Structure 1
Amino acid sequence: MSEKSLKLPSRPLSRRDAADAINRAFESSDITEICQAIGAAIRDYNVSDIANECGIARQTLYRAFAGGRPKHPNFTTILTVLDALGFQLHVTVRRKARARWALPKAVPPPES
């Protein structure tokens, strides 16, 4: 068997690579892509340890982040898994904000 015929699975080279892949997925705002990126990071670490730390069965963890499913993990599960992986979610302001600021509500005068 030649060396060229051996194809190793592509894996993030570092935690930074895994974090970058997850961040790119979040930038897409596509839940399936986000789940797939988190799932790829999960498979690069000891899945049993992550499942135990999250309190989720290993098989459930695999299924939740497989992507391409009509049902996705809830936000608590996503945050718990990111924390178990040693990552945190960080929010930044986009250059072009979509929502407008709410106008301050009028405060009624105090009753005497």
Structure 2
Amino acid sequence: MTKTYRPVIPSQLAADLNRAFASAEPHTVCRAIGQSLKDFNVSEISKKTGLQRTSIYRAFGDEQLPNFSTVLAVLTAMGLELKVAPRFGASSGY
């Protein structure tokens, strides 16, 4: 039986992940990416990133934190980009 995936709405996907990034907690971000991957064919993500499917599942599970290049590759394969913006109300520390 072939698995059917929910249609991905890029703006909703970005909003969900931005909420996780706002936490500034790596495990929260990785869990959110892992949850979002359920709406994608991980075999296709694997082909686009050059990463093994098992590596992708492991990277965004609860066991360990992925390296930064894995995060960037998976987000790019999901049709997203990572941007940096100043956090409102935060001092720069300088």
Q: TM-score range by the shorter chain?
A: 0.7 to 0.9
Stretches of structure 2 lacking an aligned partner (at least 5 in a row): 1-5
Contact 1:12 1:18 in 2 (8 A): no
Contact 1:48 1:58 in 2 (8 A): yes
1:33 aligned to 2:28? yes
In percent, how many aligned pairs have the same letter?
A: 40
User: Which of the numbers 81, 91, 104 marks the counterpart of 2:84?
Assistant: 91
Contact 1:22 1:37 in 2 (8 A): yes
Aligned length: 89
Q: In structure 2, what is the Cα distance between the partners aligned to 1:82 and 1:19?
A: 10
Q: In structure 2, what is the Cα distance between the partners aligned to 1:24 and 1:72?
A: 18
Stretches of structure 1 lacking an aligned partner (at least 5 in a row): 1-10, 102-112
Aligned-pair Cα RMSD in Å: 1.7
| Largest Rg, 1 or 2 | 1
Q: In structure 1, what is the Cα distance between the partners aligned to 2:44 and 2:30?
A: 19
Query: What TM-score, normalized by structure 1, do the two folds share?
Result: 0.71
